[in-house]
Structure 1
Amino acid sequence: MWPGLVGKEPGTDHPPISLERMLEMTAAASVNGRKYDGVDLFLFHPHTDPDASDDAIKAMADQIAAHGLKVGSLVAPVWPGTVGGSAFGSADDRKNFVLAVEKACRIADILKAHGVREYGLIRIDSSGGVHDWAEDPAGNTKKIAETWREAGKVAAQHGERLAAEGEICWGGMHSWKAMIDTLEATGMPETVGFQADLAHTYLYLMGYNAPEAALLKEGYTDEEFWPAYKTLTDALRPWTIDFHVAQNDGSVHGTGSHDKTGRHCRADDPNGKLDIVKCSTFWLQGAADRGMKHICWDGCMFPNEILEDARTWETILGKMIEVDEAL
């Protein structure tokens, strides 16, 4: 549901889209009789008050269930300006990061007790910029790992796992090598893993924020692409516990804290760089063995008119069905 919030600004031509409207559009989509099974939630305003009462969370659960939908993964409000702060920031920032995970776990418990949530995890990132991280790479990676470990301990107490979303805009996660370094430093593979998004991980290949980690150069051929993709996915797949079906046109785009990150475009965009189904199978080998029970799609920073277009929802649903059938 977070495409209705991320990159949206009140009073502009791309204001936040309400949770109810996002649920309506989800429930309305259908491809050959198959529909979306559920939704992933961003636990922050205006969709969800992270400090909402138990009754308010139960009412939201009823609202979602009334559309015939389940809840899957949850996005913890770990960023400055929400509940959290940088995982490699000040002591208060890091304390607030863990607090954001605590709040997400509380809501997760209520949703599980309600019955609307049977699977999924909690998404995080480092919540700090690449340039800030680069001031002290080793020291900041160590801080991220320490913060994630503390958050991981909280999650484990609630039967939850944390998945760090691989966007190049986050320090310590901005390249595939940095991502692995941070996960290994955290050292909690049973609790803290990786969330792969096809649009974001495409930029890992290109080394946009880490040229030294690039696996491809502009103008690459198919013969060069697939071995590079295998290298990328072989390295990160063992950590991958959550997945976004998406398309990328090779450009970068962002707003606010999500600066210079992988541009999500429509699944049928003629400029799309990815064979969505084939690329997905690379990531999803052995997915069930890693506890994965669902896949999601992400349209963050889509213009509102694209999100309000039923074809957007049906096109990506059709592609997700193809992914499912290819596994």
Structure 2
Amino acid sequence: MALKIHNAMWPGLVGKEEGTDHPPISLDCMLELTKNADINGEKFDGVDLFLFHPHTDPEASEDDIRRMADKIADSGFKIGSLVAPVWPGTVGGCAFGSQDDRDNFVHAVAISAKIGEILKQHGAREYGVIRIDSAGGPEDFAKDEAANTKLLAETFQRAGAVAAEHGERLAAEGEICWGGMHSWKHMLNTLEETGMPSTVGFQADLAHTYLYLLGYNAPEAALLQEGYSEEQFWEAYKTMTDALRPWTIDFHVAQNDGSVHGTGDHDKTGRHCQADDPKGKLDITRCAEMWLKDYDQRGIKHICWDGCMFDNDVLESPKTWDAILEASIKVRNAVG
């Protein structure tokens, strides 16, 4: 089966704040924008969801979840991966924090897994994983790296066991703003320490993992220095993807201009820029191919575009979504 192409709904939420120039964009609006994208008659196949307000109440009743699934199905979409509300201030807490924090983290995964199960029973969801991160920053993690690695892995193990009870897998997002996964080496160490490859894997995002190469929050893990050559880039990219690809169970198509960016209360991380941005550092298709080798053997059935922290006027422009869809189609066609 060819990979399905999804659009992420959380760019309408991440970094958005009421009362600012960039308030949250409703799920209905994000669905409509996604539905209207078209490249020579090809459309998005589905959407990936953020399980938090105002798009989704994580404590919603089963009937409410089914009504949401009806709405998404009526838009012509399947539901793929789900983002669990694991952060302090949502349902969860830091995965290497206090006992209460860690318990709340596991609770957030349990809620998400139950919603995932309802969506599968409904028929709107046939594939995808639950996305998590450590919900804590690199500076806090560095205060006692050995102890925090142990706590993080134990929390992921507990969360993985809960997810497996509902037939779900967890994908830990590689992003430089999350402690214990803020470099490719830290991410690999966390996954190996967790030791649940059939249940807890890696979610690779092209924009975020570009910053892994430069060691932005972990200089000791840098694979490239500024001014690198093209040959050096591809050698470094191979090193990173060879290490993390066996763990990769979820994938985000994206572009990065080499900078970091944060909006609202979201910490700075690899900037997502538009698919056709002339400042983009990545050959999107070639880089995606390196992550997606043998994707079917890892249970990957869809790819998703992630445009976190785009300005609202960018998100609300039809040209943005057409360019994103076109880039995603090229990736799908390249990998088969």
User: TM-score by structure 1 length?
Assistant: 0.99
Residue 115 of structure 1 corresponds to 123
Please give the secondary structure, in 2, of the residue aligned with 1:249.
coil
Match of 2:31 in 1: 23
Runs of 4+ aligned residues of structure 1 deviating over 2 Å after TM superposition are: 255-258
Matched with 1:105 is 113
Over residues 104-138 of structure 1, what are the superposed CA-to-partner deviations in whole Å (9 max), with x where a residue is unaligned?
01111111111000000000000000000000001
One-letter code of the match for 1:84? Answer: G
Q: Which amino acid aligns with 2:274?
A: R
For the residues of structure 2 that align with 1:105 and 1:236, how far apart are their CA atoms? 24
Q: 1:216 aligns with which of 214, 224, 227?
A: 224
Per-residue CA deviation, residues 9-44 of structure 1 (Å, 9 max, x unaligned), is 001110000000000011111111110000000000
Partner residue of 1:287?
Answer: 295
**Distance (whole Å) between structure 2 residues aligned to residue 264 and residue 191 of structure 1:** 28
**Aligned equivalent of 2:48:** 40
Partner of 2:5: none
Do 2:163 and 2:169's aligned partners in 1 also have CA atoms closer than 8 Å? yes
Which of 291, 303, 306 is matched with 2:311 structurally?
303
1:312 aligns with 2:320: yes
Residue number among 194, 209, 230 corresponding to 1:201 in the alignment: 209
The answer to whether 1:146 aligns with 2:190 is no
Aligned-residue offset at 1:160: 0.3
Q: Residues 69-218 of structure 1 correspond to what in structure 2 (within 5 A)?
A: 69-218=77-226
Match of 2:272 among 254, 264, 271: 264
What SS class does the counterpart of residue 243 from structure 1 fall into?
strand
Q: Deviation of residue 326 (structure 1)? A: 0.7
CA distance, structure 2, for counterparts of residue 236 and residue 39 of structure 1: 25
Counterpart amino acid of 2:34?
T
Return the alpha-carbon distance in structure 1 between the equivalents of residues 21 and 287 of structure 2: 34
Unaligned runs of 5+ in 1: none
SS in 1 for 2:302: coil
Structure 2 unaligned blocks of 5 or more: 1-8
**Matched residues in 2 for 1:229 and 1:313: separation?**
27
Contact 2:16–2:264 (CA<8 Å) still a contact in 1? no
AA aligned to 2:94 is S
For 2:238 and 2:285, locate their aligned partners in 1 and report how far apart those are by CA, in whole Å: 14
**AA in 1 matched with 2:137:** G
In 1, distance between residues paired with 2:69 and 2:51? 13
Conserved? CA contact 2:17–2:264, under 8 Å: no
Identity of aligned residues (%): 73
Counterparts of 1:235-250 in structure 2 under 5 Å?
235-250=243-258
Give the structure-2-normalised TM-score: 0.97
